Structure 1
Amino acid sequence: MKKAALTLAIALSLTGLTACQTQTSIEQSTIEMTDQNLAFQQFSQSFIDDLWLESPTWALYSGFHQYDGVLKVPNEQARQASLDFVSKQSALLTHFDKDSLTPGLLTDYRLIENLIGQMRWDIETFKSWQWDPTNYNVSGGFAQIINENFAPLDQRLASVLSRMENVPAYYAAARENISHPTLEHTQLAIMQNEGAFSVFNNDLLDQVIASELTNEQKVLFVTRFNKATIAINEHIDWLKALEAKLDKEGARSFRIGETLYEQKFTYDIQAGMSGKALYEKAIEDKNRVQAEMTKITEKLWPTNFDTPMPKDNKVAIKQLIDKLSVKHVKRDDFVDEVRAQIPELIAFVNEKDLVTLDPNKPLIVRETPAYMRGYAGASISAPGPYEKSGNTYYNVTPLDGMNDESAESYLREYNHWILQVLNIHEAIPGHYTQLVYSNESPSLIKSLFGNGAMVEGWAVYTERMMLEEGYGNFEPEMWLMYYKWNLRVICNTILDYGIQVKGMTEAEALDLMINEAFQQQAEAQGKWRRATLSQVQLTSYYSGYREIYDFREEYKALKGEDFDLKAFHEEFLSYGSAPVKYIRELMLHK
């Protein structure tokens, strides 16, 4: 770059008046480019401001609390307001010359463009607001206000008071919207709305009574609280009646088909390839990983069995995994064991100097709140970039609701080795670490509108990276279980595309997960359930992982002896949660 600039300067100095005119033209162009970048930065902030007004609950989850007291009623008027927002922002985007934007701002442009396109598509084409009753649940927003200490309690209770006003209208609109839903989403909506009473309970009323709210506010609070709980119960009863009707008369299929799947894949994953292409890539990787597992099984077989190894490699792998999986934590100690492993992971990352961890950003392991259960056994709830110092919660679902057989199957799935891999993925240096860095990105756009494939891909990438750096002391059992876990990531893609597009049956799905990915029965059944309730999201793990790992190897070859793993990680993470393909562009062309 410096050499090119110097050559241009010499050329201009030798061309007299014409050079001066050219130089003036170049300076004018530079001014125009600067103006474009400044204008786009101003637009980006205006876009965020308008979006929070349009989506106040999203703002709340992101840590922007100006509209905490607003609960939008999801009716036709609200959908039209969303479409008006999309049209306005689309028109404003056309004013910018993409070629004049810096690479970082061009990435922000693409993220905004994708987001508003996705919003329109969801309302007009996908229409999940009609067939997915899980879209309607007020619990999360209220829980966020009540449980997070971002402001004095009285101030937060005042927001709850204001927000409760629209709860009855909210559920009335939900019932007006729901048309020919799937049975599976209806059943989940019942369970999750029943979990609302872990938020709307006597503890909340006790807090109100003890607060500094005025007597008038307290009376109004109790009135609205009662109306809200009645509305939730009415909605649950309505959903149960709907469930019975759907069960008897038939329901919409949860399968969305190829056209909608590819459209959703484009918006959600932003991977630069089709869903079908990723599916085919996953099948190839499945075969490769199974071959690696065969090698380890051949090595470990003589020390674990007195009988000859079966000729069918998959049978042998499954038998070895089944034997090793009896080593697991006790049922009642599951959440406590997760909590105990976090300091060990922190110590390893610091010792190996893999990435800088901020000790001032708390990570709290907790039991998954009731209103969040029924979807995943472990998850991260992270603060948004507006409240970077807020708590990050590692939600772990206890096994209380399982019978003994299911609990044992679950514990074998999350055995001694895989539980460690899970904690790497969810916590250190996976989701928790990435989301802390994302909040520090100078681009609010990249932090707020994160790409799921990058977020999940990073967590999956760290699993292998940690083992490569010596976590687990290169124990073959750890690598075998890692490959089993990684095979699950790969098969998530095969499963998701197979179910949603190719019509894979439950029997075929269970066979894939149990006999090809060596999962326990309980885990396989849980994944089938999840695959019927979501679309595309299950592909994000594999898609992002392959992109990140392949890019790291490309970058390592490019840098040669100058490659530094920690520096790579920290620069990669500095770009927020942008799609991997855009981070690659930024790191290669900076």
Structure 2
Amino acid sequence: MRKILPLLLATTVAIASCSSPGGQHTAVASDDDSLQIRFSQFSEHFIESLWIQEPEWATQQGYHKWDSILTVPDNASRSKTLLFAGKNLDSLKAFKVAQLTPSQQTDYYLIHDYLEGRKWNIEQQQDYTWNPSAYNVTGLLAFMLSENYAPLSQRLQYCYKRMLQVPAYYAAAKVQLRNPVPELTALAIDQNSGGLSILEKDFTDSVKLCILPAEEKDKMLAAAKAASAAVKDYITFLKGIKTTPESRSFRLGKALYEAKFKYDIQSSFTAQQIFDSAVARKRYLHQEMAKLSKSLWPKYFGTQAMPADTLALIGRMIDTLSTQHVKPAEFQSAIEKQIPELIAFIKAKNLLYIDSTKPLVIRKEPAYMAGVAGASISAPGPYDKGGNTYYNVGSLEGWPAAKAESYLREYNHYILQILDIHEAIPGHYTQLVYANRSPSLVKTIFGNGAMIEGWAVYTEQMMLENGYGNNEPEMWLMWYKWHLRTVCNTILDYSVHVNNMSKEEALHLLTKEAFQQQAEAEGKWKRVSVTSVQLTSYFTGYKEIYDLREAIRQKEGSKFNLRIFHEKFLSYGSAPVKYISKLMLAN
């Protein structure tokens, strides 16, 4: 377990001492030094207060002092959040940003942006009134049961205390929902239904196996039963909601979208600017893919006539290469086999230090996580350095043969390698390990999604630039196709939520212009209908990281070292790229 907070005061500033004529020693500290000390003290107090305000988030970050508390999502809890945000924003006004250290300036902006974002969410977005999937306790309880941060008996005690509050939690949820989005209602039903096994099996099995007094076990099992009943009641409540022409649309609209992009992505660009950049990038990728497809055509089709239509030519070549894929039952094992190969390549090319002491566990995606993405990383919080990092892999078990074939053609021999680079090494897994080593707890806690996703996308290109895949044109073509998905994520998300793109238009974009399989495109439509803005984080972060690398390469010239750039960049934690850029370019 990591200590609760680093000794910020010992490392942030040194106060010099000098001798006076009388032999007495007088401490000399500038106004800037004093301000920096006070900001360190403020940051430390803020984080402690944050965990009191957000006990569930604290648990997932590895801070377990408040593990027995479950916040009931009612008007009173939101009022407390607004009061907390207001007081701390007032406290920030006491600091002159220019007088803080560069690292502290970043922390200042991260705290400020978080608090402003919380206020905006409650006062403007108000998704607690229309997003039923925001209410789900099973993922939190699953985390507590699966992570070995304390003896099982202690974790069960904390789960039990939280379970006692579950009926009140879901009762409040039903009161808050006024005009729920139909697509989010369906997602909430699926996810809460999937999470019932946490209460009815995982927790109860753990209680029965644990050495506890019989009376205590009975209380725990009774609490689990009551919590399960509350979840089922919520599911029944959601199923009873009728969809009408007046039901709220899942589309955010331009004003809400731009504001959410500002607070969630924290980019130096606006959402409109990123959308325009993505459209231009799509044109460039189509040009490069056409060149490669023409060069590969004789190898795979001999003297057959080449399609005159460029997109048809690219699509034909991609379809041919996509037939190379693993069998459904071998999907997870193929991922497990490739991870050591990626590590060996990075070491051979001296691209980045990989910490072999941090475990990466590849597992079947838990049921409570189903319905959004087919592969993801779950990392331990900053207080739980020894915790497992999980690579969650969606299962194809029970899929119809045609659907499984479509999915595997999407994640074919080439794309599966790129997926592993993105999700694991040197993508998400590696970046999150570095983030947990950051000396700034603020940067680690307020991880920026665009930086995290952008790094994963950037590493795909970086690996190929350094010879991964032996510079085979097939690998480059398929990466362009994969990268086109990142670009089209941005185009799709903005077009759907701001420009009212229809499902038919979205599927055409994804299948005809981004060359995705039908199953992948259908899944992406579902995702864009239950999330917003997040899909833009991939391209936004990638663009900002790539631009930063090239700016530093130009600045340093022949002295530029890729490994040094990577490790320096990652050392700042998961801060927004615009703040990391400011620090790195200043240095």
TM range (shorter): over 0.9
**C-alpha distance in 1 between matches for 2:201 and 2:431:** 37
1:260 equivalenced with 2:256 (yes/no): yes
1:368 equivalenced with 2:365 (yes/no): yes
Deviations 1:205-241 (A, max 9, x none): 2321332333332121111111111111111111111
Residue type at the aligned position of 2:287: A
Q: How does 1:402-417 map to 2 (within 5 A)?
A: 402-417=399-414
How far has the Cα of 1:308 moved from its partner? Answer: 1.4
Q: 1:346 aligns with which of 332, 343, 346?
A: 343
| 1:199 corresponding residue in structure 2 | 198
Is the Cα–Cα contact under 8 Å of residues 434 and 573 in structure 2 kept in the other structure?
yes
**C-alpha distance in 2 between matches for 1:95 and 1:219:** 53
| 1:299 corresponding residue in structure 2 | 295
**TM-score for both structures, normalised by structure 1:** 0.94
Residue type at the aligned position of 1:285: R
How far has the Cα of 1:93 moved from its partner? Answer: 0.7
| 1:424 corresponding residue in structure 2 | 421
Q: 1:277 aligns with which of 273, 277, 282?
A: 273
Tell me the SS of whatever aligns to 2:30: helix
| 2:567 corresponding residue in structure 1 | 570
| 1:9 corresponding residue in structure 2 | none
Residue type at the aligned position of 1:264: K
Q: 1:557 aligns with which of 554, 557, 560?
A: 554
Q: How does 1:98-137 map to 2 (within 5 A)?
A: 98-137=97-136
Q: 2:397 aligns with which of 393, 397, 400?
A: 400
Q: How does 1:146-545 map to 2 (within 5 A)?
A: 146-242=145-241, 246-247=242-243, 251-305=247-301, 306-545=303-542
Is the Cα–Cα contact under 8 Å of residues 453 and 541 in structure 2 kept in the other structure?
yes
**C-alpha distance in 1 between matches for 2:136 and 2:123:** 22
Task: Name the structure with the higher helix share.
Answer: 1
Deviations 1:163-218 (A, max 9, x none): 11100000000000111111100000000000112311234223213323333321
How far has the Cα of 1:30 moved from its partner? Answer: 6.2
| 2:62 corresponding residue in structure 1 | 63
Deviations 1:424-453 (A, max 9, x none): 000000000000000000000001101111
Tell me the SS of whatever aligns to 1:264: helix
Is the Cα–Cα contact under 8 Å of residues 363 and 390 in structure 2 kept in the other structure?
yes
Q: How does 1:135-150 map to 2 (within 5 A)?
A: 135-150=134-149
Residue type at the aligned position of 1:535: S
**C-alpha distance in 1 between matches for 2:98 and 2:29:** 12
| 1:36 corresponding residue in structure 2 | 35
How far has the Cα of 1:353 moved from its partner? Answer: 1.2
Residue type at the aligned position of 1:488: R
Paired residues in the alignment total 561
Deviations 1:67-126 (A, max 9, x none): 111111111111111111111111111111111111110000000000000000001100
**C-alpha distance in 1 between matches for 2:235 and 2:424:** 34
283 and 249 in structure 1: CA distance in 2 versus 1, 3 angstrom threshold: closer
Q: How much is the aligned-residue C-alpha RMSD, in angstroms? A: 1.3
**C-alpha distance in 1 between matches for 2:422 and 2:76:** 41
**C-alpha distance in 2 between matches for 1:526 and 1:39:** 49
Tell me the SS of whatever aligns to 1:386: coil
Give percent identity, aligned residues only. 51
**C-alpha distance in 2 between matches for 1:252 and 1:33:** 51
How far has the Cα of 1:402 moved from its partner? Answer: 2.4
Tell me the SS of whatever aligns to 2:377: strand
Deviations 1:338-370 (A, max 9, x none): 111111111111111111011110000000000
**C-alpha distance in 2 between matches for 1:552 and 1:372:** 34
Residue type at the aligned position of 1:35: S
**Structure 1 gaps, min length 5:** 1-26
Tell me the SS of whatever aligns to 2:361: strand
Residue type at the aligned position of 1:398: S
